Amino acid sequence: MRTRVIAVDPLAPDPAVIRTAGRLIRRGRLVAFPTETVYGLGANARGERACARVFEAKGRPAEDPLIVHIASVEAMAEVGREIPDVAWLLATRFWPGPLTLVIKRSGRIPRGVSAGGDTVAVRLPAHPVARALIEAAGCPIAAPSANRFGHVSPTRADHVRADLDGRIDLILDGGPSPLGVESTVLDLTGPSPVVLRPGAVSIDQLREIVGCVTVATPSRQHAHSPGTATRHYAPRARLEAFDGPGARDVAMARVRALLTEGHRVGVLADDEFVADAPAAAIGTSLGQRNDSAAAARLLYGAMRHLDSLAVDVIVTVLPRDEGLGRAIRDRLNRAAEGRVIHVPALAAAGQERTPALG
């Protein structure tokens, strides 16, 4: 049986459709819906069995926690306990929006939501469809990205259907997600705030509010935050990423070498790089160079498009490590399983080499 898809106006969704979706959530069913970041797969966050169905549908390991979405800032008190003042300060500044806060978990939220831990990740989304659905459900909604675990995140309803058709009850099609990358996850359970996953709220923005903010080591990320496995957000094709002052020249050489070896090569980069790539390569643009907002919005759709064309290898160049570029770098690094080649400026000065990545 195919999953039902209902189109909704992203700014003013039909109340009758939202009520239907809300009833499904209350009854323990699964509903995919748009948020401003990516599409989420929603379940009643108070229902242990409902949340278990999310893990089953996605093929998600039980040790990977879910994010709980709430309808108001005040609702944080329902899902958390011993909430620090800084959490309320950040919520007032960034909610509704793409910031997830990790706080101590209330007993009203099942342990399975938090992978058995004593903390919970919570956020108040900004997307009108997401907010209307939470209100209609009358309960917090646990919602990871609406895709198979580890695969490229979904930013359109057809991405959700491609991964989860027949596994979930309903998809609310509200068009493309406006931001395109997941929320920033900030852990507030330690002595100082720690970013567990970079996202659409930058570290600089957080520091303007709370001062000292650090970035977690991979081990702490995995324990507290979704989306931090070594291989995540990954296309089926092998993805190779290049970074550093000489990255563009060496990445282009790599494209040529792969084509010579007979590979079907995808290029995932800015307009300029795609235009300069050999005609035999399959280019997919992430917008103008240094436009990180466009790159974030286009990233996951571009990876899925290259997968649909059955490329063997995708070559990409990492953006600068600042602002939204940091989140894009994180996603591409994980999609490449750490296959990032750091190219010094020497390569760009005439010592171009083609690295052997096998």
Each of the 358 residues of the chain gets a pLDDT tens digit; together they read 799 999 999 999 999 999 999 999 999 999 999 999 999 999 999 999 999 999 999 999 988 899 999 999 999 999 999 999 999 999 999 999 999 999 999 999 999 999 889 999 999 999 999 999 999 999 999 999 999 998 999 999 999 999 999 999 999 999 999 999 999 999 999 999 999 999 999 999 999 999 999 998 765 555 556 656 556 688 999 999 999 999 999 999 999 999 999 999 999 999 999 999 999 999 999 999 999 999 999 999 999 999 999 999 999 999 999 999 999 999 999 999 888 999 987 655 555 555 555 4
Long-range contact set of residues 350-355: C-beta below 8 Å, sequence gap at least 24:
352/246, 352/249, 352/250, 352/253, 353/250, 353/253, 354/250, 354/253, 354/254, 354/256, 354/257, 355/250, 355/254
Domain topology for 4-180: DHBP synthase (3.90.870)
Burial class (CB in 10 A: 0-12, 13-18, 19+), 220: middle
Please give the DSSP secondary-structure letter assigned to residue 151.
Answer: B
Cα–Cα distance measured from residue 273 to residue 289, given in angstroms and rounded to the nearest whole number: 9
| pTM over cut 0.75 | yes
Residue at 63: amino acid letter: E
The DSSP element (H or E) to which 89 belongs, if any, is: helix 85-94
- Domain ranges in the chain? 4-180, 238-348
Burial class (CB in 10 A: 0-12, 13-18, 19+), 57: buried
Cα–Cα distance measured from residue 77 to residue 112, given in angstroms and rounded to the nearest whole number: 19
State residue 358's pLDDT score: 45
Three-state secondary-structure class, residue 265: strand
Superfamily of domain 238-348: Threonylcarbamoyl-AMP synthase, C-terminal domain (3.40.50.11030)
Q: Using alpha carbons only, what angle is made at residue 116 by residues 108 and 39, rounded to the nearest 5 degrees?
A: 75
Cα–Cα distance measured from residue 300 to residue 99, given in angstroms and rounded to the nearest whole number: 19
